[in-house]
Amino acid sequence: MSAFLSRTRPPITYGITPPKLSTSPERRAEIAAVQSARIGQLPIDALVVYDLQDEASRTDALRPFPFVECIDPAEDAFGDLGAVPQRKIVYRGVSKRSREEMAAFFARVESEGGAAVLVGAPSRTAPVLMGLREAYAIRQELAPELPLGGVTIAERHAKSRDEHLRALSKVDVGCSFLVSQAVYSVTASKDLLSDLHYRCQDEGREPPILLVTLSPCGSAKTLEFMRWLGIDIPYWLENELLHSRDILQTSVDVCLRAFEELLDFARDKGIPLGCNVESVSLRREEIDASVEMVRRVVAITQRV
């Protein structure tokens, strides 16, 4: 089996959320046509389709945007967006799934030539039908050749200093790449990359591919939402964004600078770093910004 993502040049992906469940079939078709045309043009290695979960159990703070149930990401990726030529990486929150649902999901992603990213419960207090460990075991049993990715969160590393071990344990159960949460703090990511590097060196193992997620931020409210999600935003950066005349463009610039810095840092250490550009807003300007971001990420990765 050839690798799903390249280790020798930085892989680039583009991440979207499916439309709301309440979207009418006509509107869904419209959205899919526009998205397919846009995404088909992008110089990316794969399309990432997220599985939004209600994370209200994670914190007592009020969610700045209400949670809205979305269309099944596998259905979106392979149904509505079936015309998109790039391969698909489909997220799947496992906590509310049965064994049969997971089996059907793995079979579909595998038959479509995609990859799966399994996501556990958003908090320890959330009700759980299936744990992440069990989901990995089902995949190992039923679809051992299916490419897998895992989620990694640098912010967790600041608290428990074991996120590099979690990441490596995901590799041990079959993940060939990791995708970060949206990165606004270079420091938090370097903390994780540094520990990951020395651990791999000590164990004589290859570091996994890591996709750094960049997410344009178009408004003060989105910034607040990112904080709610647990994304670490340095004080100066929040200051810059809130004072900026064009918060969206400023966020694109700082995200790209962060990626460049992390790419340099990872290259020095032989960690295969790539980039996942998030486009989770429906606003025209934010979509345009994500497309610009992809093109600039490509330019950064092609520099010597």
The residue ranges that bind its own copies (CB under 8 A) are 158, 185, 187, 190-191, 193-195, 198, 234-237, 239-240, 243, 261
Radius of gyration of the chain (CA): 18
Report how far residue 25's alpha carbon sits from residue 75's, in angstroms, rounded to the nearest whole number.
13
Q: In angstroms, give the least distance from the CB of 268 to its own copies.
A: 9
| Complete DSSP assignment for 89-102 | EEEEE-TT--HHHH
Amino acid at 203: E
**Identity of the residue, 69 or 261, whose beta carbon is nearer to its own copies in the bound complex:** 261
**Inter-residue contact 182 to 231 (CB < 8 Å):** yes
Q: In angstroms, give the least distance from the CB of 194 to its own copies.
A: 4
**Local structure of residue 147 (DSSP, 8 states):** -
**Identity of the residue, 58 or 197, whose beta carbon is nearer to its own copies in the bound complex:** 197
Tell me phi and psi for residue 287, to 5 degrees. -65, -45
**Identity of the residue, 261 or 285, whose beta carbon is nearer to its own copies in the bound complex:** 261
Q: In angstroms, give the least distance from the CB of 197 to its own copies.
A: 9
Q: In angstroms, give the least distance from the CB of 205 to its own copies.
A: 17
**Identity of the residue, 161 or 283, whose beta carbon is nearer to its own copies in the bound complex:** 161
Q: In angstroms, give the least distance from the CB of 148 to its own copies.
A: 27
Amino acid at 63: R
**Identity of the residue, 213 or 250, whose beta carbon is nearer to its own copies in the bound complex:** 250
**Inter-residue contact 43 to 299 (CB < 8 Å):** no
